[in-house]
Amino acid sequence: MAAPMRLGLVGYGLGGRFFHAPFIEAAEGIDLAGVVTRDPVRRGELEADFPGMPVYDSMADLLVAGVDAVTITTPPQTRRELVLEAIDAGVPVVADKPFAPSAEAALELVAAAETAGVPVSVFHNRRWDHNIRTLKRILDNGDLGELWSIESRFELDLADYLDRGPEGGLLRDLGAHLVDQMVWLLGPAETVYCAMDWVDFPEGRTDAFFEIVTAHASGVRSTVSASKVNRLVAREFRAYGSAGSYVARTNDVQAEQVTAGIRPVDLGERWGYDVEDAWGTLTTSTGSVRVPSERGAYQDYYSQFAAAWRGEADYPVPAREVLPTLAVLDAARLSDETNAVVRLA
């Protein structure tokens, strides 16, 4: 059996600690080989979570120590330089979302990676949510007939976790996930209309709510919305088609479990399944049925990444693949500024 990929994790904040390290630990063919963080508090959390884990002050130090690939999950404003540093070192990269502040900025990184022949994948882990996987199965099965539209709503009571200022905002946070899910399911966009709510913080004016209506080239319409400051907690999918509808109202169980301190290695094959009471409902001319949940498994992203490194699979979510998602986010910002529908070329 081939030796596991040695992966270095750059950053141990909320994302690194809860949405990367536990799933790297649970993935097949991969070892967490070291973590970059200078923050004393983060170092203490790392030692508690992974006793004896090597820790470094910089990605340069991590690369000198020797790793096969890196995950970069530092704040968005630092990500570009670190991705380029890893590309220059010839080391495959997992870059957290948002991959870049715009499609144009992302294209620069894509070109650098392709010129150097270095794989760069984007951590759009919510393609591995149990609820989006369940919806995809329903669509693949043709249970809704001709698909007309999908609505996706995601509201969290997490005002303290809203990235504030002109480089933050909810659109670049939850918007990156929700738009990516729709582009992944329905294909690229033709037109985009967006309205956002804004809050003035000391760090700067920040978008705190959005609703985006996208007409996809496939002929399907998607509507995605999200908030973090309105004291609501809700997650809902609605899909409408010629044969009926599908409605699900549940957040992905993985985020709830991992932030509660439960790791995927703790539950093994029981990880990532929703309880039966939370299953969605498919309604057609024959009646309504509850639809068993698919498994959510962010660790599958990392298992595929390691398999690709060994030459046994394609890399998950290659950077070029996220350009259509970033184009929608760019169009959404322009649409909100102009109060107009934006047509993508």
Topology at the third CATH level for domain 5-125+301-318: Rossmann fold (3.40.50)
Helix (H) or strand (E) holding 210: strand 204-216
CATH of 126-295+326-343, one of 3.40.50.2300, 3.40.50.970, 1.20.1090.10, 3.30.360.10: 3.30.360.10
Among the ranges given (123-127, 132-136, 168-172, 317-321), the one the predictor scored with the smallest mean pLDDT: 168-172
For 187-199, what is the mean pLDDT?
Answer: 97
For 149-156, what is the mean pLDDT?
Answer: 97
**Alpha-carbon distances, residue 63 vs 69, 74, 140, 200, 281 (angstroms):** 9, 16, 42, 40, 49
pLDDT(165) > 90: no
The chain-wide mean pLDDT, for the chain, equals 95
Closest CA to 91 of 121, 52, 132: 121
For 260-270, what is the mean pLDDT?
Answer: 93
Band the pLDDT of 176: cuts 50, 70, 90: very high
In contact, 326 and 99? CB cutoff 8 Å: yes
Give residue 1's pLDDT: 63
Give residue 250's pLDDT: 86
Distance in angstroms (rounded) separating the CA atoms of residues 324 and 329: 9
* Range(s) of the chain covered by CATH 3.40.50.720: 5-125+301-318
What b/e sequence results for 147-170 when a residue is b if at least 16 CB atoms lie within 10 Å of its CB, and e otherwise?
bebbbbbbbbeeeeebbbeeebbb
- pTM equals 0.95
Could you read off the pLDDT of 88-143 as tens digits, one per residue?
A: 999 999 999 988 989 999 999 999 999 999 999 999 999 999 999 999 999 999 99
Q: Which amino acid type is present at position 227? A: S
* Range(s) of the chain covered by CATH 3.30.360.10: 126-295+326-343
Distance in angstroms (rounded) separating the CA atoms of residues 69 and 213: 37
Give residue 285's pLDDT: 96
